[in-house]
Chain A
Amino acid sequence: MGGLRTAGDLVGWMQMTRKMKINEAKKYVAQKLGIEVFDLTNEEVMRQTREDLGIGVVTSVAGSPKGMRAKIKIAELLDIHINSVDLFLSQVKL
């Protein structure tokens, strides 16, 4: 689906954490992002959406969220538990 270029990673999280089939996962992610399912793979829409939400963009923008900082926001946005995020937050006592 394009990973960080679009919403492929987000759909992946839903299949992993909620065992959602592809259409259910896409619908869930689109609803959380406030966009149409059709636009999940639309770079023109997803680039700005990801930037606005701080969930990581594919190009390297100095100082912008990526890695763990982006995953914390992704877990919040999608209302899911990500094991690495839970561990990190427990270590920084947030």
Chain B
Amino acid sequence: MKDKILIRMGDGERVTLSADEIKEDIRAGTQDAARRGRIPEMTAPEQEQLFEIMADPSRVVGVSPGEEVIVTDDGCSMSFYSGQDGGGVGVPMSRMQAILTYERACGADTTSMGHSDYSYKPVKPIINYEMNEYYNISMMTTAPFFYGAQPNLGLYYRPDGPCPNPAELLPAGKIKEARAAQEEACEHLKKDLVFVGKKLAGVGCEGLNFDTCGSAGDADFLAALLALRELRQEVPQMPIIMGSSGEFVIGMHGEVTFDGRRLAGMYPHEQVKVVEAAGACIYGMAVNTNTSESTAWNLARAVTFCKAAVEAADIPVHVNVGMGVGGVPMMEQPPVDSVSRVSKSLVQIGKADGL
């Protein structure tokens, strides 16, 4: 094996590192994840396996036949017709055309649709439009067809929503008021998630995706958990995926709990247990990519978190491998060499149930 190995930084820059440098990055990355999550580091053979994947001279790498996993997505077909800000390629086509193209031309394991804003709140006033669209498309699709969006608690704060804005209250030292605002917003969000979920279930929704939960903090994550539990009671025949927005739940509130467990600071192996308890069929974990570190460092962290989450989980764990998560570089055109190494490592070493 040659000593200079082509690799990427977390921002996508292509660099050459020595074998020792890559091994050191892997060691440091897994140690970082283990320290933060209080979980085991990758074993020495696992670190060596990751090194072999990173050092493979092929542009694209993959798992062996029989090791393949399925892929769920968060509005992937939207990228066919949306613009740059959505990672889209701007082909003028309808949602149905995009979804069927994704299913049939790309061989997608699952498909999905969503509102172009990709948050649940704006779906509420146009729910009948979305129900019609979902129903019509579901007659045509064969693969599992999800409706997805983000809870996005931030939309419930002023000036976009009815609640006082914690981002203004917290810097002013108004902790109690900021917490009250988040609790009020959480209740609004939960109601909207349940409303949209029940409406879609009524037109035969095959699966709902609560995507990027916790992006506005622990109250955001809580709203999704509460809505998930309520929907499982109300419409038990509709499977629900719940995916997180980052490797730990941000404590914007700091004190909210679910089943007596504080959500703030939860890492994937802890998140999956509350998601599971709420009734999700699949947990989507996210690990943030550090743009200043190599993909070896980032991937070692992602694999370490993934392995712990999969071991703790009784439901399938899918790892988010979009732009800037899961070890994939933070750029709008993720390099295929990095993406394929991330996919292979998370499946072979992290034991992910899907991506």
Note all chain B residues with C-beta closer than 8 A to A20: 316
Query: Is B108 touching A81 in the complex (CB atoms < 8 A)?
Result: no
Q: Which residues of B contact A37 (CB under 8 A)?
A: 66
Q: Which residue of B lies closest to A60 (CB)?
A: B104
Nearest to A82 among chain B residues (CB) is B206
B contact residues around A87 at 8 Å (CB):
203-204
Query: In the complex, which residue of chain A has the Cβ closest to the Cβ of B134?
Result: A84
Min Cβ gap A43→B in Å is 10
**Which of A15, A66, A86 lies in contact with B353, CB distance below 8 A?**
A15
| B142 CB-CB contact with A under 8 Å | yes
The residue in chain A whose Cβ has the minimal distance to the Cβ of B110 is A12
**SS class, residues of chain B in contact with chain A:** loop
Across the interface, do A3 and B108 meet the contact criterion of CB distance under 8 Å?
A: yes
A51 at the interface (CB under 8 A from B): no
Contacts of B143 in A (CB 8 A): 3-4, 8-9, 12
From A37, which residue of chain B is reached at the shortest CB distance?
B66
| Size bracket of the A interface | 35 or more
- Does A47 touch B at the CB level, under 8 Å? no
B122 neighbours in A (Cβ, 8 Å): none
**Residues of chain B with a CB closer than 8 A to A53's CB:** none
Taking CB atoms, residues of chain A closer than 8 Å to B103 are 3-4
Are B70 and A8 interface neighbours, CB within 8 A? yes
CA distance A79 to B70 in the complex (A): 20
- Most B-side CB within 10 Å, residue of A6, A16, A37: A16
Bound-state Cα–Cα, A9 to B61, Å: 23
Q: Is the CB of A16 within 8 A of B207?
A: yes
Q: Provide the residues of chain B in CB contact with A15, threshold 8 Å.
A: 70, 281-282, 316, 353-354
| Interface of A, helix, strand, loop or mixed by DSSP | helix
- Interface size for B (C-beta < 8 A) is 40
Residue numbers in B under 8 Å from A35 (CB-CB):
none
- In contact, B316 and A9 (Cβ under 8 angstroms): no
B139-178 to A contact mask, C-beta < 8 Å, 1/0: 1111111000000000000000000000000000000000
A contact residues around B206 at 8 Å (CB): 16, 82-84
Contact residues of A between 9 and 64, Cβ < 8 Å to B: 9, 11-13, 15-17, 19-22, 25, 37-38, 40-42, 55-56, 58, 60
Query: Which of B109, B139, B237 is close to A9, meaning CB atoms less than 8 Å apart?
Result: B109
Residue A77 at the chain B interface, CB threshold 8 Å? no
Q: Assuming A1-B69, A83-B204, is B107 touching A56 (CB within 8 A)? A: no
Point out the residues of chain A lying under 8 angstroms from B139, CB to CB: 67-68, 84, 88
Q: Name B residues whose Cβ lies closer than 8 Å to a Cβ of A.
A: 65-66, 68-72, 103-104, 106-110, 138-145, 201, 203-207, 237-239, 281-282, 313-316, 352-354
Q: Which residues of A are in contact with B by a Cβ distance under 8 Å?
A: 1-6, 8-9, 11-13, 15-17, 19-22, 25, 37-38, 40-42, 55-56, 58, 60, 66-68, 70-71, 74, 81-88
